[in-house]
Chains A and B, each alone.
Chain A
Amino acid sequence: MTTNTEWDPSQPILEITNLSISFFTRLREIPAVMDFSCTVMAGEAMGLVGESGCGKSTVALAVMRDLGKNGRIVAGSIKFKGRDLTHMGEEELRKIRGSEIAMIYQEPMASLNPAMTVGAQLAEVPMIHEGMSKSDAWKLARQIVADVRLPDPDRIVDAYPHQLSGGQQQRIVIAMALMSKPALLILDEPTTALDVTVEAGIVDLVKELGKKYGTSMLFISHNLGLVLDVCNRLCVMYSGEAVETGNVGEVFDKMRHPYTQALFRSIPLPTADKNSRPLVAIPGNFPLPHERPNGCNFGPRCDYFEAGRCDAGEVRMGDTGGDRHASRCVKFAEIDWDAPLVAVKKQEKTPVGDVVLKMEDLRKYYEVSGSSLFGGGAQKVVKANETLSFEAREGETLAIVGESGCGKSTFAKVLMGLETATSGKIFLYNQDIQDTPIEKRAVDTVSSVQMVFQNPFDTLNPSMTVGRQVIRALEIFGEGADDAARHARMLELLDLVKLPREFADRMPRQLSGGQKQRVGIARAFAGDAKIVVADEPVSALDVSVQAAVTDLLMEIQRKNRTTLLFISHDLSIVRYLSDRVMVMYLGHVVELGTTDQVFSPPYHPYTEALLSAVPIADTKVIKKRIVLDGDIPSAMNPPPGCPFQTRCRWKSQVPDGLCEREVPPVRHLATGHQIKCHLSDAVLAEMEPVITMKET
């Protein structure tokens, strides 16, 4: 370990001053980060927040001095414990990497070597930096694995990464970062690839370890709720620049930059619905690095834009007078920050009509053969959906919530006809369709049940123009008498999803993520769909775009009286837009009710945990912390009895191990509110709300 004796703990651990980073391509120099400054003190957690492409990961990699061949630091300095990293040689850097600065990555599976055991990858760190012997290093690895609260460390160190679950892999990556007790930990979206309940566990662990080892952190995330949870200080980035920095409380409550404000207004909170706090999308698009405007980068999208001042010249960071709180806005002193939101036209709740879709006792089982390559092995049954029963009415939004592997996508596939049901019934307008695969369905059945997919980047044909793809859908659905009529209808559909008509001739690659998703929506509504299954339609999009796409979906729903089945893992957005919520766990519907019923006690224990795991970007909210142990059991080998019993914190309240023996029956608590739980009415009545507002 190289410890610099001159470094004084009252000085910043990391001090970045006026850092500018550019990527050099054959065509031009692309500035990725401009004039970025921030300071991280010992034991402090600094959050870097911004949308994709804003340069937050570039800053992290610059601290590691790992910008690749094309990236270069063109100005400024990065001082770590008083030493300038920008002028260090490879050998010096190597001594710092992994021992004094360690990094935790977004995708744990990809960042672990698939061909090395976990123990070997962990033990390597102290062997390199401290010259530890192999056996000592493995002993330390085992101890750290236990430290990150993984069960059975002896087995884990001998395992290969693919034998662990996503959450366990991320814990290993964290363990690897902690092997040499670094002074600075860089976390690059450490939980984005994980489920919310797993995320809550990881975040807890990171916070606790930060305290235990006194590690400073640079926490990169696009999730404001997480940053509020983990960090002391915050730096908001927009298009390569830091636009606002300060301590977390101040930035959240007394923001002094229009972008920060717009960002907060565009994210849904699980404490509010669409009527009490409407989302406000940020107009326009994120500027490309070589198309940045003059002056303030946020200018063209800003409500407070003033020509002649905001676009006059470079805007510098200005001190707002708070606790090291600065904003890159020329007008921050003049704007009335407490002005209430301009009243957006309040939307009446769409009246709910007749039942259009009804599922009765739907089951979907898959048979999988044992091991893949060498055949053999016993046949196993994956119970993807178990006794699914519900109704959906015209004009209603039914949200289906659950973590990965809960069977929500399988359910969508069965409904769409991509798979046929194992048993049970699906009625669409009293016509049962559970056994009809999509290729045998009538054209109007197909066109009336459509889907909006999660990833707009993969679902459009890259070699067909946008207009052509929509017309193709119209042709398949038999809409329009001739080509001219279909063309006209296609333009109408583009209007419907608020895309300019010129987009008809564009290729998908010329569109941004949000625009692509709009095309996906246009395609889904091409045949006047009655039921639209939206499978995580906004989770791949940036927050500022999410609001706009969500609003669009709801507006079309109001106009067409469509039934929207909204599949999501994001409870905030579910709370915001849905009328009823269905919570799924391991193929079972554990709770079903109106949004208010599901979001307030009594809860199903899983719903309670799910709610508590959602990070909320609101300082006024007090949340009960319920962290679930372990991972979701495999659907191939579900626990006996109640599917949730392995992780349930209420299990002890049910006498004589009933939870382990029997699948709980469906109980109706109030009109339209049902849960699948053994807990007695008295216990359920005592449940406290997970989310409460602070008294003001």
Chain B
Amino acid sequence: MLMFLLRRFGIMVLTALCLTFIVFFLTNLTPNLEKLARSEGSVRMSDEQVTSWLAQNGYAQPLVVRYGEWLGVMPGWTVSGAEGVTGRCIDSATPAEAAPRFCGIIQGDWGQSSVFKRPVSEILGRALGATGWLMLWVMIVMVPSALALGVLAGMREGSRTDRVLSTVAIATTATPEYVSGVIFIVIFASATAGVSPMLAEMGWIEGRTLFQGTATSAMDNITFWNFGLPVITVALYGMGYIARMTRASMTEVMTAQYIRTARLKGVRFRDVVIRHALRNALIAPFTVIMLQFPWLLNGVVIVETLFNYKGFGWTLVQGAGNNDIELLLACSVVAVIVVLVTQLISDIGYALLNPRIRIS
């Protein structure tokens, strides 16, 4: 078990290195750096000025060296110029003499965000916290309802329940978040359309809309009314997918011979499903649910932007839109870790659910 974990951890580190290098390479392409120079320095810089600005700020070094500095395995650059010594690890708070030699993510220095003018770690920490709440609620809503839907549909293949539930599941998966989100806002969170004006007229709701169209206030205080719509929007999309998987797995299990054995033992249909089929049917969807975590990050980008909820997705969009290299790199590290950790959990959980591949 320990060997397994160590090996998986090694693979994780290796994958993370490769992926961050790719992101590093793409964000550090020359045109991108020139754009950075003009936005940080002055828009009207000449080409020579740009070159010297880049040299002054450490961007003239070879790509691999700068990647090493960002990681923290190579000493940060220093340049002595007219304004004294400047360097990667030197800023207004830490003068040149006190600055450490290395300052990369290994040392915990994630760099400075050029958009928010604050340390990346601080921004990312808050954003991840906010997204964590969103993900948690999405999972709480999505997983049980998807499993219930899938099991009910797969219990009797081809029955009316199956067909109705399958149609619902396909419809939700076929509706991307940017469509369903807009629809929800129109129906539930618009003062002029949907159900809110009617409810307001009848005096059933206090404000002008039933749900709030923005989730900004949920950053401080989560309520059903400000958080309901974003959660539902993300959850619905994933739910259909998981439900389909569960249904497929359930129908397969229901035709297995051991289900016939159970039936011909005289077990009640309800008990056949609960005692004999359920655990076997959940083995396959479990992996899918775990894969759904990184997939949620996708939906989170859209939904957070749509509902103006300042979480991880919103931050990523800001970083990408404003050429914030350090922020983008940090986001990619987080994404890689989320993907790989969920994979690990899914493998371990699979072994626990399936007695045939128990840890010996």
Q: How far is the CA of A607 from the CA of B231 in the complex (A)?
A: 70
Are B257 and A128 interface neighbours, CB within 8 A? no
The digit string for A80-112, where 1 denotes a CB below 8 A from any CB of B, is 000000000000001111110011010100111
Q: Shortest distance in angstroms between B275's beta carbon and chain A's nearest beta carbon?
A: 8
User: Is B257 within 8 A of A105, CB to CB?
Assistant: yes
Q: Which residues of A contact B353 (CB under 8 A)?
A: 115
| Given A111-B257, A111-B258, A373-B4, A98 and B356 contact (CB-CB distance below 8 Å) | no
Known pairs A110-B257, A373-B4; A160 contacts B355 (CB<8 A): yes
Q: In the assembled complex, which residues on chain A have CB atoms less than 8 Å from the CB atom of B347?
A: 373
B49 close to chain A: CB less than 8 A: no
Is A176 engaged at the interface, CB distance under 8 Å to the other chain? Answer: yes
Q: Are B359 and A371 in contact (CB under 8 A)?
A: yes
- Contacts A110-B256, A373-B4, A374-B3 hold; do A99 and B266 have CB atoms under 8 A apart? yes
Q: Which of A15-64 contact B (CB under 8 A)?
A: 64
Question: How far is B286's CA from A576's CA once the two chains are assembled, in angstroms?
Answer: 53
| Most chain B CB inside 10 Å of its own CB: which residue of A116, A176, A373 | A373
Distance of A519 from chain B, by nearest CB (Å): 31
Please tell me if B354 contacts chain A, counting CB pairs below 8 Å. Answer: yes
Report the Cα distance A110→B252, complex, angstroms: 13
Chain B residues, Cβ within 8 Å of A69: 158
Main secondary structure of the interface of A (DSSP, over half): loop
What number of A residues sit within 8 Å (CB to CB) of B? 36
Main secondary structure of the interface of B (DSSP, over half): helix
Per-position binary interface string of chain A over residues 348-392, scored 1 when its CB falls under 8 Å from any chain B CB and 0 otherwise: 000000000000000000000011111111000000000000000
Interface residues on B, range: 20 to 34
Interface string of B248-266 (1 = CB under 8 A from A): 0000000011101111111
Complex Cα–Cα for A475 and B360 (A): 49
Distance from B259 Cβ to chain A, minimum over Cβ atoms (Å): 8
The answer to whether A376 touches B264, judged by C-beta atoms less than 8 angstroms apart, is no
Query: Which residue from chain A places its CB closest to the CB of B276 in the assembled complex?
Result: A113
Chain A residues near B356: list those with CB within 8 A. Answer: 114, 160, 162
Q: How far is the CB of A140 from chain B (nearest CB, A)?
A: 14
Q: Which residues of B contact A373 (CB under 8 A)?
A: 4, 347, 351, 357, 359
Contact A98 B264 (CB under 8 A): yes
A66 within 8 Å of B by Cβ? yes
> Quick one: given A373-B357, A376-B4, are A113 and B280 in contact (CB under 8 Å)?
yes
* Least Cβ–Cβ distance between A270 and chain B, in angstroms: 32
Query: Taking CB as reference atom, which chain B residue is nearest A106?
Result: B257
Most chain A C-beta atoms within 10 Å of own C-beta, residue among B257, B268, B280: B257
Once bound together, how far apart are the Cα atoms of A55 and B71, in whole Å? 71
Whether, in the assembled complex, B279 has its beta carbon less than 8 Å from a beta carbon of chain A, the answer is yes
B residues within 8 A CB of A220?
Answer: none
Q: Which residue of the partner chain A has the closest CB to B156?
A: A69
Closest residue of B by beta carbon distance from A120: B275
A173 / chain B contacts, CB cutoff of 8 Å = 261
B261, A111: Cβ atoms closer than 8 Å: yes
Question: Is A251 interfacial (CB-CB < 8 Å)?
Answer: no
Residues of B within 8 A of A94 (CB): 266-268
B348 → chain A closest CB, angstroms: 9
**Is B7 an interface position by the 8 A CB rule?**
yes
A162 to chain B: closest residue by CB: B356
Contact between chains at B261 and A113 (CB < 8 Å): yes
Decide if A479 is an interface residue (CB 8 Å cutoff): no
Tell me whether A162 and B258 are in contact (CB under 8 A): no
Q: Does any Cβ of B come within 8 Å of A428's Cβ?
A: no
Please indicate the chain A residues that have their CB under 8 angstroms from the CB of B360 in the complex.
370-371, 374, 377
Contact A375 B265 (CB under 8 A): no
Residue pair B354, A105 in contact (C-beta under 8 Å): no
Query: Given A110-B257, A113-B258, A372-B357, are A95 and B1 neighbors across the interface (CB < 8 Å)?
Result: no
CB pair A66–B359 under 8 Å, yes or no, is: no
A124: CB under 8 A from chain B? yes
Tell me the A623-665 residues at the B interface (CB within 8 Å): none
Chain A residue at minimal CB-CB distance from B359: A374
Residues of B274-326 at the interface with A, using a CB-CB cut-off of 8 Å, are: 275-276, 279-280, 283
- The distance in angstroms between the C-alpha atoms of A69 and B251, with both chains bound, is 14
> Which residues of chain B have C-beta atoms less than 8 A from A589's C-beta?
none
Q: Tell whether, in the assembled complex, residue B280 and residue A375 are in contact, meaning their CB atoms are under 8 Å apart.
A: no
Residues of B330-360 at the interface with A, using a CB-CB cut-off of 8 Å, are: 347, 351, 353-357, 359-360
How many Å lie between the Cα of A377 and that of B280 in the bound state?
27
**Chain B residues within an 8 Å CB radius of A374:** 1, 3-4, 351, 359-360
Contact flag A116-B4 (CB < 8 Å), given A66-B263, A129-B266:
no
Docked-complex contact A103 and B257, CB < 8 angstroms: no
| Per-residue A-contact encoding for B118-154, CB less than 8 Å = 1, 0 else | 0000000000000000000000000000000000000
For A114, the chain B residues whose CB sits under 8 A away are: 258, 280, 354-356
Chain A hits for B1, CB < 8 A: 374, 376
- Assess the A97–B280 pair: CB atoms within 8 A: no
Please name all residues of chain A whose beta carbon is closer than 8 Å to the beta carbon of B262 when the two chains form the complex: 113, 124
Question: A374–B6 Cα gap in the complex (Å)?
Answer: 11
Cα-based distance from A358 to B359 in the complex (angstroms): 44
| A129 vs B267: C-alpha distance when bound (angstroms) | 9
A409 vs B202: C-alpha distance when bound (angstroms): 81
CB-defined contacts of A227 to chain B, threshold 8 Å: none
A479 CB to closest chain B CB (Å) equals: 45
A535→B282 CA distance, assembly (Å): 39
Q: Hey, which chain A residues are within 8 Å of B260, CB to CB? A: 66, 105, 111
Chain B residues near A371 (CB, 8 Å)?
359-360
Distance in Å from the Cβ of A100 to the closest Cβ of chain B? Answer: 9
Chain A residues with CB under 8 Å of B351's CB are 373-374
Structural contact, B3 and A376, CB atoms closer than 8 A: yes
8 intermolecular pairs with C-beta atoms under 8 Å apart? A94-B267, A98-B266, A110-B257, A111-B260, A114-B356, A176-B261, A176-B265, A374-B351
Mark B residues whose CB is within 8 Å of A: 1, 3-4, 7, 158, 256-258, 260-268, 275-276, 279-280, 283, 347, 351, 353-357, 359-360
User: A97-B264, A102-B265, A129-B266 given. 15 additional CB < 8 A pairs?
Assistant: A66-B263, A69-B158, A95-B266, A98-B267, A103-B264, A105-B260, A110-B258, A113-B258, A113-B262, A115-B355, A116-B275, A128-B267, A173-B261, A371-B360, A373-B347
Residues of chain A at the chain B interface (Cβ within 8 Å): 64, 66, 69, 94-99, 102-103, 105, 107, 110-116, 124-125, 128-129, 160, 162, 173, 176, 370-377
Closest 5 CB pairs of A and B: A98-B266, A98-B265, A371-B360, A110-B257, A374-B4
